[in-house]
Amino acid sequence: MFTRNTFTDLDGHSLDVETGFSDNSFYAFQTGFDYITKDSINSLTLHTHEYDRVYESDNYNSKSYTVRTEHQTKNYGLGFDYKYDESLTADDDNVGLFGNFNYNIFSFHARKDNDNDSYKVGFFKEIAPNFNIRGNHSTGYKNTTLYTLEEQSTSNELSFDYNDITLSLFQTDINDLNTDGVELSYNIDNFTIYGSHLNSKKNDTLQVRRPKWNFGINHNKVLPNDFNLITNYNFIGEHLDIHNSNWTTITMPETHLLDIGITKDYYNYEFGVSINNFLDQDYEAPHGFNQNGRSLSFIFKRTF
């Protein structure tokens, strides 16, 4: 069982919304039964959750109830779920049937709902020691909500893994939104390098807040006497954004964000300091929302 409450003071903005508050409550409860044999896992799961949001002059409430049962073996699985949603806009229910099957290097997943069918086909193959190739093709569906239209999607991904290096090529179409790109990552011990190049267009129009280039380095250097030197760098390339007051499309400059810090381990306690935005970049994300300049933070952690 999980529950939380968030109370927030809200500022007014250019849409003439007055200052006010948001009181947001959420809870979720889930329980289930598993029956495990030598060759299979059989499960029954019951789940419910509720959102209760109250604003200065408005409110929103929704509830969801789900029952799910599944039979899974090493090579195949079958399942069924039923979901009922209540909200201010409409009540909705759905019956879902799903299954999966694995054979050799291939895997297949399929799902049938009231109004849509979706599937995923994937493969994994070891080409040579420490060198793997994997890929998948999948379809997806998202129901209409209060603020979004129905979505139909198709995705394709091809990845190559060699030791600690991963190269991924991907392409996704969601209605009229077309996205494709490449990602590269390198992980070894306490050192990580990552980068990506992204193209995102809707009806041949470049999308805002989606930089073409993104690059970063994370490094944790262990020093003598249980000291640790922490370095995090992130490059965000030039990209389009929406002007905060006149709603025109503008170009945002590239940013270079560097955080450095040093900590000391002492009997499972960690003490230290960090300098965030060490280069003192003056930037907004998104436009109209100024981010912090160079700042000093003190670190205290306890490991159990």
Q: How far is CA 250 from CA 15, 170, 240, 247, in A?
A: 19, 27, 6, 9
Q: How far apart are the first and last CA of the chain?
A: 23
- pLDDT tens for residues 205-233? 999 999 999 999 999 999 999 999 999 99
Alpha carbons 142 and 163: distance in angstroms, whole number: 37
**Residue 22: predicted pLDDT:** 87
pLDDT above 70 as % of the chain: 97
Choice among 51-65, 102-116, 178-192 with the minimum mean pLDDT: 51-65
Mean pLDDT of the chain: 93
Q: What is the pLDDT of residue 147?
A: 72
Confidence of residue 14 (pLDDT cuts 50, 70, 90): low
pLDDT band at 12 (very low <50, low <70, confident <90, very high): low
Confidence of residue 32 (pLDDT cuts 50, 70, 90): very high
- Give 284's contacts (C-beta < 8 A, 6+ positions apart): 252, 290, 291
Q: What is the pLDDT of residue 189?
A: 87
The predicted-structure confidence for 245-294, as pLDDT tens digits, reads as follows: 889 999 999 999 999 999 999 888 999 999 999 999 999 999 989 999 99
Residue 16 scores a pLDDT above 60: no
pLDDT for residue 56: 80
Percent of the chain topping pLDDT 90: 79
The band of 21, judged by pLDDT with boundaries at 50, 70 and 90, is confident
Span 114-139, pLDDT tens digits? 989 999 999 999 999 999 999 999 99
CB within 8 Å of 166: residues ≥ 6 apart: 159, 160, 183, 184, 185, 186
pLDDT at 55: 85
User: What is residue 99's predicted lDDT score, i.e. its pLDDT?
Assistant: 98
Q: Per-residue pLDDT tens for 183-199?
A: 999 998 899 999 999 99
Question: What does the pLDDT read at residue 176?
Answer: 92
**Average pLDDT score over residue span 71-83:** 97
Look at residue 57 in the predicted model and tell me its pLDDT: 79
pLDDT at res. 13: 60
Residue matched to tokens 């964000």? 257
142-151, 233-242, 272-281: least confident range? 142-151
DSSP state of 279: T
Q: Answer whether residue 105 shows pLDDT above 90.
A: yes
Measured CA to CA, the distance from residue 78 to residue 83 in angstroms comes to 17
